[in-house]
Structure 1
Amino acid sequence: MGFQPSRNLAAMKYDIKTEVNLIATELGGRKYPVSSRWSPIFCYDEQNWIATFFTDEDVEWVHPGETVVAYFLFLSPHRHLGKLYPGKEFTLCESGRVIANGKVLAILNMEESAKRFSESD
């Protein structure tokens, strides 16, 4: 079934740390803000992936047009090993349209997550 994240945000070990810019509404972005546990489609290298977005605990909402440091957990972390690295650019999509741009700042616990994922199969 794969890795199941903890419900306690402070206890989570995220796969990657990123910088994300939500596209402004007037430029085609979302109409409403997002918060931790949002699950957009994470896109890079013409591939779409399921991921969950998290912010620092003091950030309740991220509004269209804002840039934030965000963390991600992947549903299938083993598929991203060696493909994501600091500086790698990606987009976040909803309903077939790009609603955010981002870049990877650091690889955190992806190898550990991938190992747990493979052990749970």
Structure 2
Amino acid sequence: MKTTPHFIAQLSYLPTGDGGRQTPARSGYRPHIEFDHIPGKRTTGMQRFIGQEWVEPGQTVEAEITVVSPKFFSGKIQVGDTFTFDEGPRVVGTGVVKEVVDERLMKKN
């Protein structure tokens, strides 16, 4: 069953030598995400890559993101917001919001 994404982002995976993953990530990967402007609020965010099935360490890709706890981000997300994604204590990449799909998350000006 496919769910509607909460937002679309450009994801930049760190190269392995800079602390990134050792192996490629497959579409559907679920790392933790934390927005830079909302510190301390982490959730799992499923990444569905657009136009490809795998991403190698060091690559950049666009993805649909579906978060497990959208209520944490209600009214707080806008285009251009940045975030990190990690595996436990290790940051493996960064992201930038390109489009907010779920209007409940959209920051009100």
Moved runs in structure 1, 4+ residues, more than 3 A? none
Structure 2 counterpart SS, 1:73: strand
Say if 2:33 is the partner of 1:39: no
Aligned Cα root-mean-square deviation (Å): 1.6
User: Could you tell me how far 1:110 is from its partner in structure 2?
Assistant: 5.0
2: CA distance between counterparts of 1:27 and 1:77? 30
> Hey, what does 1:61 align to over in structure 2?
54
- Asked if 2 retains the 8 angstrom alpha-carbon contact of 1:16 and 1:110, the reply is no
1:77 touches 1:110 (CA, 8 Å); kept in 2? no
**Which residue is 1:51 aligned to?**
45
Q: 5+ unaligned residues in a row in structure 1: which ranges? A: 1-5, 113-121
Cα shift readout 1:6-63 (whole Å, capped 9, x = no counterpart): 2x4xxx421100000000001111000111111100112222112111112x301000
Within 5 Å, give how 1:77-92 maps onto structure 2. Answer: 77-92=70-85
TM-score, structure 2 as length reference: 0.85
Q: Report the identity percentage.
A: 26
How many aligned positions are there? 102
* SS of alignment partner, residue 26 of structure 1: helix
Report the structure, 1 or 2, having the larger strand content.
Answer: 2
Unaligned runs of 5+ in 2: none
Structure with a larger share of its residues in helix: 1
Q: Which has the larger radius of gyration?
A: 1
Any conservation in 2 of the 1:86–1:106 contact (CA below 8 Å)?
yes
Listed one character per residue, the Cα deviations across residues 63-115 of structure 1 (whole Å, up to 9, x for unaligned) are: 00000001111112222122111000000010211100111011002539xxx
Instruction: Answer yes or no: is the 8 Å Cα contact 2:48–2:63 preserved in 1.
Output: yes
CA contact (8 A) 2:75 2:104 kept: no
